[in-house]
Structure 1
Amino acid sequence: MAHLLPAPGPARTLAQAQLANSIGDGAFLVTSALYFTQVVGLSPGQVGLGLSVGWAAGLLAGIPAGHAADRRDARLVAALLAAGTGLAVAAFLAVRQPVAFVLVACLYAGCQTGLAAVRQALLARLVEPERRTEVRARLQAVVNAGLGLGAALGGLALAAHAAGAYRAVLLLDAVAFGVAALLLRRLPARRRPVARRDAPGARRAVFQDRRYALLTSLNAVMMLYLPLLSLVLPLWVVQRTVAPSWLAAALLVVNTAAVMLGQVRVARRVVDPAGAARSLRRAGAWMIVACGLFALAGVAGTPALAAGILLLGAGAQVYAEMAHGAGAWQLSFDLAPADQHGLYQGFFGSGVPVARMLGPVLLTWLIIGGGTPGWLAFAGLYAAAAFGTGLVARHAGRPAPRALVA
């Protein structure tokens, strides 16, 4: 684990904070569905609707949170959002009715999305421009390690299959975010404010930046790999292939381990917009390969053959994911004005809640319902977004819009 962390300093503290909350997240993610349905008594439909509404609220939270980080002490904003996430997780323990679940889900998703934006702003402030993508890759590797460890802890709760075990997982997640808040508060303070006060229209600057809006929109399309991994691929393995059902979990393990071990290595190649464009082109090409292999697994005649093809597809997919991450992170930093990283990163990060909201319905209909043509359609959509994002990199050398300040 130590070799994944950045060198001692602010970046390492940021990574330690992210490790703490990712351990809690990993345990929460593998147990939350059963807790809400079997312990709280909500229906799967109520849980799905509540989470969709919650991530819709999260979509609205990233930009104001990032803007607050630009204008205030970003450490304090991040610590408050981490603490707010922990309180939301703890509040899930008191949920008994669908309405209360929706309200707490909104608080949880809003704080999570805002925290992600502010962490990016902190990274941009604390790390030299030429090292940002590599450090961001290390953070991603640390997150995957934490998620894997947390998932293992959550597995113990699943094995116990007791209400007390599930509640212990929620408490663990709440405490983990509390630890993250304390670590974030230890980061160095900004020596001076970037601007004295907001000018009229300052918050709209990111919406008026057409190239950044295009980058964000294309990246949101590429972020659809999130429900692809967590929902669509497991359903495909179980319903449309003859591979053993446990392979669905194995594919997620392969993905987590590969990102933990390989993301930093892939990101080291990306240090400027030209490198970002090349990385994104590779992401598009490898996703085409991955989708073709996943589709081919659906017609494989034996469990062993289907399993082998799926594992190859998982390897191609995770390389596409790592190449996408490295290229998109580089551009998200390069195209943002130096004094508005919080605002811009909040906008850029909106692709995650969009993918979580719309992706499950879209990809289930497209792939599970459509079969091989659906896989090919998704591959084409992803590759077009990847190549389009690479084209945006050609304009990265032009001056970014100046911040609107008094």
Structure 2
Amino acid sequence: MSHEGRFGQYGGSYIPEILHNSQQQLIAAYRSAMADETFVAELEWQLQHFSGRPTPLTFCPNLSKTLGGAQIYLKREDLNHSGAHKMTNVIGQGLLTKRMGKKRIIAETGAGQHGVASALIAARLGLECTVYMGAHDIERQYPNVFWMKQLGATVVSVESGSRTLRDALDEAMRDWAQNYQDTHYLIGTACGCEPYPEMVAGFQSVIGNEVKKQAAEQFGALPDKIYACVGGGSNACGIFLPFLDTDTELVGVEAGGIGDAPGEHAKRFHVADSKPGIAQGFASLFLQDDQGQLMETQSISAGLDYVSVSPILADLEAQGKVRMTSARDDEVLQAFRTLASNEGIIPALESSHAVAGALREAAALDPSQKIVINISGRGDKDIFNIAKAVKDTQFNEFLAGYLERETQA
């Protein structure tokens, strides 16, 4: 990272003047906290005793044998308390909120995992919590909305624009600008103005650091390849960054959606409509039309349909340190089924993109090679989407019958 939160040509701070003092306070608090042994010790204690870290590195004997190629391991971020890697970042930012003396957090969420994690840490630390979520994402991920509300959070449905994550982020930024004196904006991914990309990636780097230690203990070497899904980029940054000084190949898997036409996917790399731009407080790659307007996206996973990507990953890909690929919805569903039926592990649809990218390449590798797939979250939240996608008529009949019985009760 260079001066003022820049990563090559990306990053930086493009925010209203009204947020300048609050941003500077956050930068100073973050730098001070990470140099404070007491804060770091409290962070590590909460990660262990509240979230359940370290998460295991799990070998997949059945899948490895079936494919006949590389030995496959899973980094089990789905076993965090909130069901996803998001818990790691919100614990860090929640403790920072208390350190700054603020009483309220706001968050944006797509798949709902960050929203649930934010609500959890707010309840634990005695903070008020407001979560902004696109109306379309609420329809796709209502179980997570239900739990946010049970945890005491206020969930605001965002009806503007595409009614997805990018619009939720816009609304959260407006809230922060109006209420910055007592409110911390707890961004869930490695995007936004300085210091958010560095800070979120830093908190999430515990993932990669754990993999390094676990790989040494379990097979005496570093992985040959690591695969992670890429939406905004927090789980990918978390597992990739500790391996930048190694020979491990780092592979990001974006949402290929249903096709290659504009609006049919959420790929920010290697597509003509993705161009450098500035929006939502930072510079990165954005899917844009000829007039520079942000484009619609498409993905079966609510957590990967963001119109931009972390400036850290945009810079690393430009340097050739990370390889980006993608997986379409049908391939993702097949990968979900393959992992679930062979290993008894139910990955989130976001994580299933990483599984799809890895399974596509694993069979061609030598059996002596080891690959790690970051299972960034578990798939309980996706039951409605998956049932719809696989056309499970019995599930639909159950829901219809349940609603009818409740209406008559």
Q: Please confirm whether the aligned pair reaches a TM-score higher than 0.5, indicating the same fold.
A: no
- Tell me the TM-score normalised to structure 2 length: 0.29
**Structure (1 or 2) with the greater strand fraction:** 2
Give the TM-score normalised by the residue count of structure 1: 0.30
Greater RCO, CA 8 A, separation 6+: 1
